Amino acid sequence: SQTIHQWPATLVQPVGSPLSLECTVEGTSNPNLYWYRQAAGRGLQLLFYSVGIGQISSEVPQNLSASRPQDRQFILSSKKLLLSDSGFYLCAWRASGRNYEQYFGPGTRLTVT
Amino acid sequence: DQQVKQNSPSLSVQEGRISILNCDYTNSMFDYFLWYKKYPAEGPTFLISISSIKDKNEDGRFTVFLNKSAKHLSLHIVPSQPGDSAVYFCAASGIQGAQKLVFGQGTRLTINP
């Protein structure tokens, strides 16, 4: 069966500090990978998605970036965090092909102070 | 431009009764719809989906209805149980941008004993 991991679970970072969130998927090959953010009381905002190694599509212009160095690894980064980057960050995967279902990781709660 | 809308931010239902969560969409190119359930501080969990070639899909206590002419879908939970208390998101996708899901803002369902 497939498993998706995210870490860390919680993170408190000062404004201007860098960020690196990691997501890995087990039990599948060549998945589509996604980063979402849920701000307090809001819905799920798609930030980035990737259909393969090194292939990143950005949905929202901002100071975040994403990378996919390996088939089942997806990393969300920032060089300098803003207060507005606070939120709940979710990684998700989808089997490549026709299926639309995405499966989410446990999330990372980021607080920028 | 919010393509998927959940107009009720919250819903309260008595245990054992039916819960009905609604979702409207504007993009006629959407052809696949999903419902997710989310507990606080956790990632969303996939519940049930429906293709536009159907108007109903059932899985245990959960049934999703699709009315394409009205661009409306609903999730019925019967009977409602205390563990159903969560935030429910509807999502949509289509042939265009098949890798992506567009989420509604979510409805918080509370089941009262």
- Quick one: pLDDT at residue B96? 63
CA distance A83 to A64: 13
- Quick one: pLDDT at residue A31? 93
Tokens of A101: 């279902």
Compute the mean pLDDT over every residue in chain B, rounded to the nearest whole number. Answer: 94
CA distance B18 to chain A (A): 24
**What angle is formed at CA B3 by the lines to CA B1 and CA B4, rounded to 5 degrees?**
130
CA distance A16 to chain B (A): 25
The per-residue pLDDT for range A44-99, each reduced to its tens digit, is 999 999 999 999 998 886 789 999 999 999 999 999 999 999 999 999 999 887 67
Between residues 36 and 55 of chain B, which touch chain A (CB distance below 8 Å)?
Answer: 36, 41-46, 49
CA distance A47 to chain B (A): 11
Residue A67 CB-density burial (10 A; 0-12 exposed, 13-18 middle, 19+ buried): middle
Task: Kindly determine whether residue B46 and residue A102, on different chains, have CB atoms separated by under 8 Å.
Answer: yes
Tokens of A23: 């997501």
Model confidence at B54: pLDDT above 70: yes
A94 phi and psi, to 5 degrees? -140, 140
> A100: pLDDT confidence band, cut at 50, 70 and 90?
confident
Classified as helix, coil or strand, B65 is: strand
Query: Which residues on chain B are in Cβ contact (under 8 Å) with A103?
Result: 46
Question: What count of Cα atoms within 13 Å lies in the side-chain half-sphere of residue B31?
Answer: 10
The DSSP bridge partners found for residue A62 are: none
Query: Which among A43, A49, A105 has the least Cβ separation from residue B100?
Result: A49
Model confidence at B53: pLDDT above 90: yes
The per-residue pLDDT for range B12-47, each reduced to its tens digit, is 999 999 999 999 999 998 999 999 999 988 999 999
